[in-house]
Amino acid sequence: MAFPDLRSFIQLLESRGDLLRIHTPVDRHLEITEIADRMVKRGGPALLFENVKGSDMPLAIGLLGTRERMALALGLPDLEALSTRVRHLMNIKMDGGVGGLLSNLPKLREVASLPPRRVRRAPVHEVIWRGDEVDLGKLPILHCWPLDGGPFLTLPLVITKDPITGERNMGMYRMQVMGPRETGMHWQRHKTGARHLANAGKLGQRLEVAVALGGDPALIYAASAPLPPVPGLDEFALAGYLRGQRSPVVRGVTVDLDVPANAEIVLEGYVDPNEAWQPEGPFGDHTGFYTLEDLYPRFHVTAITMRRDPVYPATIVGRPPVEDAYLIEATERLFLPAAQLILPEIVDYSMPPAGVAHNLVFVSIRKQFPGHAYKVAHGLLGLGQMMFAKVIVVVNEDVPVHDFEQVWRTVAQQAVPGRDTLPTRGPMDVLDHSSRAWSYGGKLIIDATTKRPEELGEGLTSRANDDAPAAHAAFTPRPSTNLPGAEGILAQRQTPDGYWFVAVNKTRADQGRALGAELAASPAAAGVRHLLLLDELTDVHDLNDVWWTVLNNIDPERDVWVSGDVLIWDGTRKLREEGFTRDWPQKIVMDPAVAARVDARWHLYGLPGTPEGPQGREGKTHDR
């Protein structure tokens, strides 16, 4: 089913017992974040805070915070149905004469529903603030994490139009409130909004911007999706396809832009390309670390339009898993058929929450020849925003890529360090804090497929029988019960499948490299294939915490190397004394006083369970 607006989706969730109203007064400064973070990590209901201090508007959060709610928002029984639907659309018949062409008509009618339709009157224009009426402080905008630079809009649909080409874009970019009528605009260098602003600068004019809050949930998802540069395909068109009907839009009151007619709130204004960029941040980001202060453009609000009784939508990002994990999963399923069209040997792929979208990709393939895994990995690195992938693991088609632990067991068994691990380099997400340079760094491809003779380096050939796997000695993990002590080690453990996790208090340059070499040469490494060195805040007993830390904290070309038979991953923080020239960010941690206050008030919120919940605050393994 298609939802006309956000409130109809909220009503359905509430009727299904999947949304709770909280009447108790709550603080938009940190308190809502702490409550929402706990609920999403335990798979709890969405929340509607009806009494946010300092604002007359209710705040909805966690609306897409489970796999089931994400599918429901797109009108699907489950997210796998998204791949099926896209695959059906892509299966256009160009043969079979007139009968074959006529069989495409239902699909063409489906495509025809993509463009938005303009309406003259809209609910979002029921109330209009202009001039001195404009005050962002009246909105319940969240201050999410203790070290954030201020309150941030976290679920904005930012709409711009290229002043040269007329190309329309709607993206989701965080916006820090900098005054009653000003925010930052977090347009990173690779984003379409940044390109539109640059083109406005070439013409010597301001760039008009509209920011929608709310709207139908398919539109909210579409704003987060990394669309390929296909003519005529934009986020409004994607939402139209997903909802099965055209999205209604209305012209803005102070900008020449179409905005969602059924949005809850719209901010209208402009960004001046000639204005000096302003400091923005820090911000507790989707990586689970703070992104540090940097310079970004400033958005000036000229009007705010809204419904008479608007609901302010929000989300939080931070240590995984949080709500964006399910938007990422929807994107996985949406683009799987397209990836398979270009690389037909792909069976499935997954971007686990511990990889925060771009740090880790698992892909299973139908292997046909030596080197096939590298062919697929390099192909993926050339597809759109997959270029930001840091570690790509390739496995056989029978390995379930959504089983996080099973994939890493397969890596230990099938990938010999050095022989089956390939470092490379390329563009990185600008939020990656550990890369060798800003937005540029190392990557790692791991071939965990069954090997052909040619891949063993023994001069053998599989030409006589291409389907025959090579025979090679199996790896037998032997976890040691006698782990050595060394300078800086705070905690450590070895797993039954060949991994050694070590939390380190790093106090000097090159400590990680020296410690890695020392441990890899010890007798305790005899039954280990991977040694992961971690920072002092990592729980070595939490697999997701381990991989989340190490993937964030490595540049694979610099920090992953082979010592003997062991692959060492140095996930400790990097120091300027080691030649790392940027500041190292902090992990996101809630203020203990706020956490304690939420503990004490839990019974007042009317939420299920105890404050800790069945899985604790950090969550555990989240496989599908």
Q: Cβ(151)–Cβ(143) under 8 Å?
A: yes
Q: Cβ(412)–Cβ(497) under 8 Å?
A: yes
Give the burial class of 583: count Cβ atoms within 10 A of its Cβ; 0-12 exposed, 13-18 middle, 19 or more buried: exposed
Q: Cβ(432)–Cβ(387) under 8 Å?
A: no
Q: Cβ(261)–Cβ(146) under 8 Å?
A: no
The yes-or-no answer on residue 148 being catalytic is no
Rounded Cα–Cα distance for residues 53 and 56 (Å): 8
Rounded Cα–Cα distance for residues 251 and 89 (Å): 31
Q: Residue 564: how many CB atoms within 10 A of its CB?
A: 14
Rounded Cα–Cα distance for residues 260 and 427 (Å): 34
- Tell me phi and psi for residue 342, to 5 degrees: -85, -40
Q: Cβ(499)–Cβ(525) under 8 Å?
A: no
Degrees, nearest 5: CA angle 379-361-231: 50
**Exposure string over 586-619, b if 16+ CB within 10 A, otherwise e:** bbbebeeebbeebeebbeebebeeebebeeeeeb
Degrees, nearest 5: CA angle 237-160-265: 85
Which among 153, 500, 105 is positioned nearest to 315, based on CA atoms?
Answer: 153
**Exposure string over 102-122, b if 16+ CB within 10 A, otherwise e:** eeeeeeeeeeeebebeeeeeb
Q: What is the DSSP letter of 125?
A: G
Q: What is the DSSP letter of 340?
A: H
Q: Is the peptide bond preceding residue 592 cis, with omega within 30 degrees of 0?
A: no
Rounded Cα–Cα distance for residues 400 and 330 (Å): 18
Q: Cβ(324)–Cβ(315) under 8 Å?
A: yes
If you compute the radius of gyration of the chain from its CA atoms, what whole number of angstroms results? 25
Tokens 């400064």, residue located: 29
Question: Which one of the listed residues 162, 285, 432, 545 is annotated catalytic?
Answer: 285
- Amino acid type, 460: L
Q: Cβ(574)–Cβ(434) under 8 Å?
A: yes
Q: Residue 244: how many CB atoms within 10 A of its CB?
A: 13
- Tell me phi and psi for residue 178, to 5 degrees: -120, 5
Q: Helix H segments across 231-363?
A: 235-243, 324-342
Which among 141, 147, 205, 148 is positioned nearest to 179, based on CA atoms?
Answer: 141
Q: Residue 259: how many CB atoms within 10 A of its CB?
A: 26
Check residue 439 and give left, alpha or beta (phi > 0: left; psi -120 to 50: alpha).
left
Residue 49 bridge partners (DSSP):
22, 59
Q: Residue 366: how many CB atoms within 10 A of its CB?
A: 13
Which residues are annotated as catalytic?
Answer: 285
